[in-house]
Amino acid sequence: MSSFIIEGGLKLKGEIEPQGAKNEALQILCAVLLSKEKIIINNVPDIVDINILIDLLKDLGVKIVKLSESSYSFTSDQINLDYLTSDEFKLKGTKIRGSIMIVGPLLARFGKGFIPRPGGDKIGRRRLDTHFIGFQKLGADFEYDSKEQFYRVTTKGLKGTYMLLDEASVTGTANIVMTAVMAEGTTTIYNAACEPYLQQLCKMLNSMGANIKGIGSNLLVIEGVTKLGGCEHTILPDMIEIGSFIGLAAMTQSEITIKNVKYNELGIIPRVFQKLGIKMELRGDDLYIPSQDSYEIESFIDGSILTISDSPWPGFTPDLLSIILVVATQAKGSVLIHQKMFESRLFFTDKLIDMGAQIILCDPHRATVIGLNRTSPLKATRMTSPDIRAGVSLLIAALSANGTSTIDNINQIDRGYQNIDKRLIALGANIKRVN
């Protein structure tokens, strides 16, 4: 198991460019299965989860050519559907949660899709009901083999329909959209997720010949088409990485410029960090974070304690709440962090408390952070990364702490962040990777 050894307390300086968005890439790469024509994808992040999915597509028979460091071409003209029932697929498909999104495209184009129970982060229950109920409404038959933990979806013909999703699931909406684009007639999806990742997927599908209206809203209307063509698509920069770098700059009193952030796609993310007192300046499409000796948490107009909570887009993404929590530990003032969408994401606070942070874990969903205003810096310690986002939060904490920290199980960080150690070392961080 690999670990990071981090010498904390150093100020960083320089420019850093965010990688392509992991969550968008997972959807976009699955969409290549919808057409037999060549599709070029740019700004693909070089991270574990994405590379596993690319390998999975290759095993399925997709012809993949690496055009440059972050660009690939995909041609899905000879798909081996027998692979879907192989033991190898059953093993590979469990490694990443994003593998669930190959089902929709396969169902739309070939009339059947199989998937083992997907893996991913241990951050609480992440239901798959939305996906399969959506498939059934479009005319698919669903079967679950509880013994093998294997899902089978088949259809003799997909028909457009109206559906109201029981939750605005991002991957669920993406899967249903990719199925509906080739269903006969009109599909209306209400309470659809409308994250930028999903907007990007819809724009890509339209450029392939799909007919999707209402992009960016929670009401999508899709006119089915019989086939889709090729296209070229560029993935957005990862908003979670951008938020992580903002938090890193504040915690380490660093002067950092985050390059090419696609600011208009960040929604309320910059504003939430500003509520913690973090200054930033937009320079063109670069986000400049100046070095700050201290930052003060805003309170509500009536003087009550600030609450920061997650909610579906355009609300604040749950992936950044752990970053917000860490950053708040050295702010001036107090904040209540309310993690509504997952019940296990706040358990990493124990490690921050060990480092000297003042946090009251109220229940699995809420934590009150009493900011120390740098009067008592965090202490270095040894810790284990429980999931991707908590792992980076602990990395930020370690970089700001006095002394040498060790983070174990960093393969969790590698799943979502491309060469994070090398990129931070370029800013002046002291991080060693050991196996």
Residue keyed to tokens 């184009």: 109
List active site positions: 121
Integer Cα distance of 78 and 100 in angstroms: 21
In sequence order, what are the residues at sequence separation of 6 or more whose Cβ sits closer than 8 angstroms to the Cβ of residue 110? 79, 81
Q: Which residues pair with 270 in a beta bridge?
A: none
Integer Cα distance of 55 and 49 in angstroms: 10
State the burial class of residue 87 (Cβ atoms within 10 Å of its Cβ: 0-12, 13-18, 19+): exposed
Residue keyed to tokens 């961080």: 429
**What is the strand order of the sheet 382-384 is part of?**
382-384, 404-408, 3-7, 430-434
Element (H, E) at 63: strand 63-66
Strand extents, DSSP E, 87-230: 112-116, 141-145, 150-154, 162-164, 186-190, 211-213, 219-223
- Kindly state the DSSP code that residue 289 receives in the 8-state scheme: E
State the burial class of residue 322 (Cβ atoms within 10 Å of its Cβ: 0-12, 13-18, 19+): buried
In sequence order, what are the residues at sequence separation of 6 or more whose Cβ sits closer than 8 angstroms to the Cβ of residue 214? 192, 220, 221
- How far from 97 is each of 28, 38, 141, 415, CA to CA, in Å? 14, 26, 22, 12
Residue 219 contacts residue 192 (beta carbons within 8 Å): yes
CA-closest candidate to residue 131, choices 105, 150, 103 = 103
- How far from 169 is each of 31, 131, 338, 347, 390, CA to CA, in Å? 17, 9, 19, 23, 21
DSSP for 368-386, please give it.
Answer: EEE--TTSSPPBP-EEE--
Integer Cα distance of 182 and 403 in angstroms: 57
